[in-house]
Chain A
C-alpha cells in the first residue's frame, strides 16, 4: 500500500489505572481516511487505547497517562489542550447504542446545539446531511419528531453515528459498535463504515476478526497491554509476522 498521510500518532503511550498498567508504551500511526482495526482478547488494552485518542480516559478516576498522542502532529495531552475541542474533532461511537431520551431530530441536533448553532434552517440542514451520511434518512426522514428510543438497535447505532457526524469530526472512534447488533444491522453498519472512510479517519475496536478483515485497511493486534503487531490488514491476516498474532487470528486462543 502507498504511504499515507498520518492523522493520529501515539508515542510511548502508557496508561495506568491506579497501580494496574493497562497499556505498555504503544507507538502507532493512524492513517488519514483509512479504517484502522484494533483486535485482541478481552482486557488486552485495545479499548483503553481507543479511549486515549479522545481523552475519554480522563473521566475515569485514578487514571494516569504517560507518553503522547498527536492529532495532525499536535500533542493532545498538553496542558493547554482544550478537551472539548478535541472531542469535537475526534468523535466516538460506543459499544451499546445509547440514544438520548429525545426525538430523532434532537438527538442529531444535540452536538451542533451545544456548539452554539441555533439557526433552525442551519440545524435542519445538518440533521438531514448527517442522517443521509449515516444511511438513516430514507428510513427516518419522515419521522424526525418521533422518540429515538423506539427505533431498533441497528437504527439506534446508526443514529448515534449520525449524531457524531453532526459535530463534523475528523476522526471517528468506534468501540465494538456491532457487538449488540443482529447480522443484518451489522452488515449495514459495515457498509456504512466503508462509505465513511472517504471523509473520515476511522479507528474501530472489534472482537470479530472477520469484521476486522472486511472493513479495515490496517490492523493492530494487542495482547496484555502491548501492541504485538501492526500492519496492513491483508498482510497481518495472511502473513502474520508474530507467532502470538497467528495463534490469535487462527483462533487458538482469545
Chain B
C-alpha cells in the first residue's frame, strides 16, 4: 500500500513537471520577446507607417494588413468550412461516397505544407486569375489553408452534440434545418470557435505563402486588390535582411499581443452568446 502511494505521488509529480515545462517554455519566449522588443514600442511605432524599408517610422500598415487579411480569409473560410461540416454530419449519409471524398480531401489538405498553398496561390490567383499580389489573392490562399482546420473542428463539435437533441427536435416536427440552426449549431458553437481561433493563429503567423500571394508592399492596403505586408512578413524580412533586430522584436511583441487580444475577444463573445442562449 505504502509503496503504491509513493509510486502514485511520483507519477503525479512527473505529470506536474510536464505541465510546468510547457508553462516555462511559453513564459520564457514571451519574456524574451518582451525584454528585447519593449524598447521599440511606442505610440508612434503602432500608429505611424514604416519608412525607409522599416528602418524608421512605425508598423501601422502591417498591423492593418494582418487584420485585413485574416478577416477576409475568415469571411471566406468560415461559411464554407462550417457549411461543409454541417453537410457532412447532418445531411450526408454516413456511407455516401461524396461525404467520404470531402472528408478525405479535408484530411489531405490539412497535412500539406503552407508553402505549397502559397505556390498554388501564386500560380492560380496571382498569375492565372491575374489578381496580382493583393489582399484578395492572399486571403483566398489563406482561406484554402485554414479550411481543413475549420471543417474538421466544426465536424467534431457537431458530432459531439447529443444525439437526443436531434431526435427530440425532429419529433417535435422541426425540419432538419430548423434542428441544425436552432439546437445543434448553438450547442456546437464553442467547438467551432476553437477551430476558428486555431485558424486565426495560423493565418496571422503565415509568412512564405503571404509573400508569394499578397506581396510585401509597405503601403496601406485599402481595396482588396491592394498588395500588403503582414506583421509576420515584416518581422521575417527585417530579421532576414538585418534591418533592425530591435524593431523585429517590437513587431513580434505586438504580434503576440494581437493574438492574445483576438483570443480574448473570441472567448468573450462566445461567453456572451452562450449566456444568451441559456
Contact = CB atoms under 8 A, between A and B. Distances in A.
Given A92-B171, A101-B187, A101-B278, A114 B178 contact: yes
B172 A56 contact: no
A114 B182 contact: yes
Contact of A94 (B93, B168, B278): B168
Interface in A85-142: 85, 87-88, 91-92, 94, 96, 98, 100-103, 110-111, 114-115
Contacts of B99: none
B169 A110 contact: yes
Contacts of A147: 278
A102 B278 contact: yes
Nearest to A100: B183
Interface stretch (A31-39, A160-168, A217-225): A160-168
Interface stretch (B12-20, B159-167, B260-268): B159-167
A56 B167 contact: yes
A96 B95 CA distance: 28
Contacts of B167: 56, 59, 94, 98
What class of interface size applies to chain A in its complex with B?
A: 20 to 34
B174 interface: yes
Contacts of A115: 173
B170 interface: yes
A94 B164 contact: yes
Contacts of A96: 164
Nearest to B187: A101
Interface in A44-92: 54, 56, 59, 61, 84-85, 87-88, 91-92
A114 B183 contact: no
Interface of B is mostly: helix
Contacts of B164: 94, 96, 98
A164 B278 contact: no
Contact of B94 (A61, A85, A88, A100): A61
Contact of B186 (A91, A101, A114): A101
B172 A163 contact: yes
B4 interface: no
Interface in A132-187: 147, 160, 163-164, 167
B93 A91 contact: no
Counting chain A CB atoms within 10 Å of each CB, the highest count among B93, B165, B167, B173 belongs to: B173
B11 interface: no
B270 to A, nearest CB: 14
A88 B173 contact: yes
Given A61-B94, A84-B175, A147-B278, A98 B170 contact: no
A75 to B, nearest CB: 19
A87 B172 contact: yes
B29 interface: no
Contact of A167 (B166, B172, B187): B172
B100 to A, nearest CB: 14
Contacts of B169: 100, 110
A91 B171 contact: yes
Counting chain B CB atoms within 10 Å of each CB, the highest count among A61, A98, A167 belongs to: A98
Contacts of B168: 94, 98, 100, 160, 163
A96 B168 CA distance: 10
A103 B278 contact: yes
Nearest to B277: A102
Nearest to B172: A111
Contacts of A101: 186-187, 277-278
Given A84-B173, A111-B172, 20 more contacts: A59-B170, A61-B94, A84-B174, A85-B173, A87-B171, A87-B173, A94-B168, A96-B164, A98-B162, A100-B168, A100-B169, A101-B186, A101-B277, A101-B278, A103-B278, A110-B182, A114-B174, A114-B178, A164-B172, A167-B173
28 contacts: A54-B171, A56-B171, A59-B170, A61-B95, A85-B173, A87-B170, A88-B172, A88-B173, A92-B171, A94-B164, A98-B162, A98-B164, A98-B167, A98-B168, A100-B168, A100-B183, A101-B187, A102-B277, A110-B169, A110-B174, A111-B174, A114-B173, A114-B178, A114-B182, A115-B173, A160-B168, A163-B172, A164-B171
Interface of B: 93-95, 162, 164-175, 178, 182-183, 186-187, 277-278
Interface of A: 54, 56, 59, 61, 84-85, 87-88, 91-92, 94, 96, 98, 100-103, 110-111, 114-115, 147, 160, 163-164, 167
